[in-house]
Amino acid sequence: MRAVYIDREFLENELGQEIQLSGDSARHLIKVIRIKKNETILLLNGKGQKCEARSTRIDRREIDLEILSINNISDDRKLSLFLGLPKKDAFESIVKMASEIGIKNIYLYRAEYSQQDIEFTDRLLKLEESAIIQSNNPFRINFLKVDNFSDAFKDYSNVVHFSTFSSTDADSLKFDSETLLVIGPEAGFSQDEEDQIKGFENVSTVKLDTYIMRAPTALAVASGYILKSF
């Protein structure tokens, strides 16, 4: 079923009622999806709701939709990301990938080797919305800026640091609670930062037998490694 992102909350009393869409959401349905009258589509609001709706009227700029069902999804996402800020293009790829994977929180940390801060532009938010539509993920990512490791690590019993340099200190990992995945910028964390990370009792370090990876590639590989352990 084709989907569209809508930044609004759906109420139970709207079942069977019609709503009108205009602006970017309507434009996407009309120009990109090319929706037809009486077609059923999926509405996603990034807040845990999935709604099915049927188009009843379409003109050049507006669409009327009848709400057929409202499904409230429980947020059971188990994986979050602590990210040493990479370059802009890598970060944009990570946001799209993280949405498709189902990452709950991304903690943004300006590491010693990070080259720039990240600005949350309209383009970045649109990229996330596009990934939500592509994956049918009912939730947006929570972005949180932190100044140190402790601000994020303290909230997790399981923290897994994927390191380019430090050796593995955990042969097999199994998790039954939320887990924080730690990835550095393109040049990795500094030795001092590596030492700080290893100093936390709830941190396990994993070094995979791979070449040096770009940050988006590291997220794809590391998240697959973690998700199989739940």
| Amino acid making up residue 152 | A
**215 near 82, Cβ under 8 Å?**
no
Residues 113 and 213: their CA atoms lie apart, in Å, by: 15
- pLDDT, residue 93, reads 96
Quote the number of domains for the chain.
2
Q: What is the mean pLDDT of residues 188-215?
A: 90
Instruction: Find the CATH number of the domain harbouring 193.
Output: 3.40.1280.10
Does one domain contain both 146 and 220?
Answer: yes
Record the tokens describing residue 174, joined without a space.
């199994």
Does one domain contain both 13 and 54?
Answer: yes
Record the tokens describing residue 137, joined without a space.
């993920």
Rg (CA), the chain: 20
Q: Closest Cα partner for 73 from 101, 52, 53, 46?
A: 46
- pLDDT, residue 172, reads 62
- The pTM of this model reads 0.91
Instruction: Find the CATH number of the domain harbouring 58.
Output: 2.40.240.20
Residue 48 has pLDDT above 90, yes or no: yes
- pLDDT, residue 18, reads 95
Does one domain contain both 165 and 114?
Answer: yes
**77 near 46, Cβ under 8 Å?**
no
Q: What is the DSSP letter of 74?
A: P
Residue 200 has pLDDT above 70, yes or no: yes
Residues 81 and 218: their CA atoms lie apart, in Å, by: 12
- pLDDT, residue 101, reads 97
